[in-house]
Amino acid sequence: MNMSFAKRISLGIVALALPSVMAHAADGPTLFVGGGLLGALDSTKVVTHSTLGFNVTGGADFRVADGSYGFRPGVAIYFLPGSAQDGVKTSLTNFQVYGDVVFDSGVQNLSFSAGLSVQRWYYKTTADPGLASPLGLDEKGFLNGTKLGFRIGVEYRFNKSFTAELLLQQTDLGSKDGDPKGTIYSPGSNVTPAWMQVGVKYHF
């Protein structure tokens, strides 16, 4: 997938739909909490050398009166534990604020979503004595500042309380990935973690 194109599409959908959603929203939002598992893509595994992660999230759903589309602001924390390779282990934690536009697919209980996210990454590295630190930075700290990303997903609502979702998340943390070998990074290297996630949300 062309990530720049997908991000422009997500931004356009949010910008066009949000004013209408807020103007025609039904009375009050529906609150939700949830969590899920992450399947890391190559741009994440180049740092963590690991495929799996997990997240927790919470937010609110604003829907128009007929339920055909809506806006969903939320917050999330993503955990991507690292796996040691050649004596070095780097784990990533992402603190995220996001906003999704959700719209009906035309199939009962099935919806699509597209949105934008702002994230702040925190990394922790451990290395055997004498080995250089990955990322060329300190053993722990914030990575590459605060960055804008995008999200595209599909979800199925089982009932009023439970929804399952499949989501692609791209966090645009820089113009390029770091060292493709994923072991030693020069100072200032850019990392662009991305993953697929599957999860469940509970609506209050």
Taken in order of first residue, the domains within the chain and their CATH numbers are: 3-17+30-203 (2.40.160.20)
81: its two tokens: 């534990």
Reduced to 3 states (helix: H, G, I; strand: E, B; else coil), residue 46 is helix
Q: Is the four-CA dihedral 38, 39, 44, 48 of positive or negative sign?
A: positive
Question: What would the pLDDT profile of 85-134 be if each residue is shown by its tens digit?
Answer: 777 788 888 999 999 999 888 899 999 999 999 888 888 877 776 665 55
Q: What is the pLDDT of residue 182?
A: 38
Q: Which residue would you say has higher pLDDT here, 168 or 184?
A: 168
- Which single residue is written with the structure tokens 């599909």? 154
**Residues 51, 39: contact at Cβ < 8 Å?**
yes
Mean pLDDT of 40-63: 88
Q: Which residue would you say has higher pLDDT here, 174 or 48?
A: 48
Q: Which residue would you say has higher pLDDT here, 18 or 35?
A: 35
Reduced to 3 states (helix: H, G, I; strand: E, B; else coil), residue 18 is helix
Reduced to 3 states (helix: H, G, I; strand: E, B; else coil), residue 58 is strand
Q: What is the pLDDT of residue 63?
A: 79
Which CA distances in Å does 75 have to 5, 57, 143, 158, 186?
25, 6, 19, 23, 32
Distance of CA 196 to the CA centre of its chain: 8
Q: What is the pLDDT of residue 67?
A: 65
Reported as a pLDDT band with limits 50, 70 and 90, residue 78 is: very high
Q: What is the pLDDT of residue 185?
A: 41
